[in-house]
């Protein structure tokens, strides 16, 4: 059970910006944990909803009580993406959504099998990393503390080390974790 304050559900936040889910070309799911997939039914009108094939397959092997709850995406066409050997990311595998490097979906497993970190890049190669649950907060990669929930601790460590390395690059504008209590909603212009 999650409590979302009035006006804070994903469809309500979209509406406040003047959009509905039908206006969305893509939704990219970092992974399928309940606290990341829980709002899917509210935005099922989106044109494409993407998840990694690894994550989708992993979700079939868990009982709903423990981790994944497939009811959250019942009736929704989750499209699996296939990472390729790109040399990008902790496992050197990623998926370039628009084929121009502007949005790389990067395989960063450990916390879950098919976790995606997003790298959003502008034409000057400046980038923002959205690392989802690769680490729970900035402190996680600064001190290399892997998530308490990890299906593969070695990969989780490798993924976190990659995040840390990427945050040290001069072109890194920001790296954001999903659960960092110190990060308040804000807008980044690239």
Please identify, using beta-carbon distances, which residue of 96 and 180 lies nearer to Zn ion.
Answer: 180
For residue 22, the minimal CB distance to Zn ion (Å) is 27
For residue 68, the minimal CB distance to Zn ion (Å) is 10
**CA nearest neighbour of 112 among 64, 161, 155, 49:** 155
For residue 190, the minimal CB distance to Zn ion (Å) is 26
For residue 82, the minimal CB distance to Zn ion (Å) is 22
Please identify, using beta-carbon distances, which residue of 54 and 133 lies nearer to Zn ion.
Answer: 133
DSSP alpha helices (H): ranges in 138-182? 138-142, 153-167
Please identify, using beta-carbon distances, which residue of 55 and 133 lies nearer to Zn ion.
Answer: 133
Which residues contact Zn ion by CB under 5 A? Answer: 33, 133
Q: 75 with 65: CB under 8 angstroms?
A: no
Distance CA 156, CA 113 (A): 10
Please identify, using beta-carbon distances, which residue of 145 and 173 lies nearer to Zn ion.
Answer: 145
Distance CA 32, CA 98 (A): 23
């Amino acid at each position: 059970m999650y409590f979302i304050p009035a006006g804070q559900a994903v469809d309500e936040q979209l509406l406040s910006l003047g959009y509905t889910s039908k206006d969305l070309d893509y939704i990219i799911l970092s992974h399928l944990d309940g606290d990341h997939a829980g709002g899917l039914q509210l935005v099922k009108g989106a044109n494409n909803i993407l998840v990694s094939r690894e994550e989708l397959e992993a979700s079939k092997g868990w009982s709903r009580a423990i981790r994944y709850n497939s009811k959250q995406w019942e009736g929704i066409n989750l499209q699996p993406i296939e990472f390729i050997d790109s040399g990008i990311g902790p496992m050197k595998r990623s998926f370039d959504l628009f084929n121009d490097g502007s949005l790389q979906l990067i395989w960063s497993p450990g916390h879950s099998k098919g976790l995606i970190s997003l790298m959003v890049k502008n034409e000057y190669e400046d980038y923002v990393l959205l690392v989802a649950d690769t680490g729970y907060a900035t402190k996680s990669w600064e001190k290399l503390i892997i998530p308490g929930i990890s299906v593969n601790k070695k990969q989780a460590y490798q993924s976190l080390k990659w995040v840390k390395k990427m945050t040290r690059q001069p072109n890194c504008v920001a790296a954001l974790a999903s659960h960092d209590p110190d990060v308040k909603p804000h807008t980044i212009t690239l």
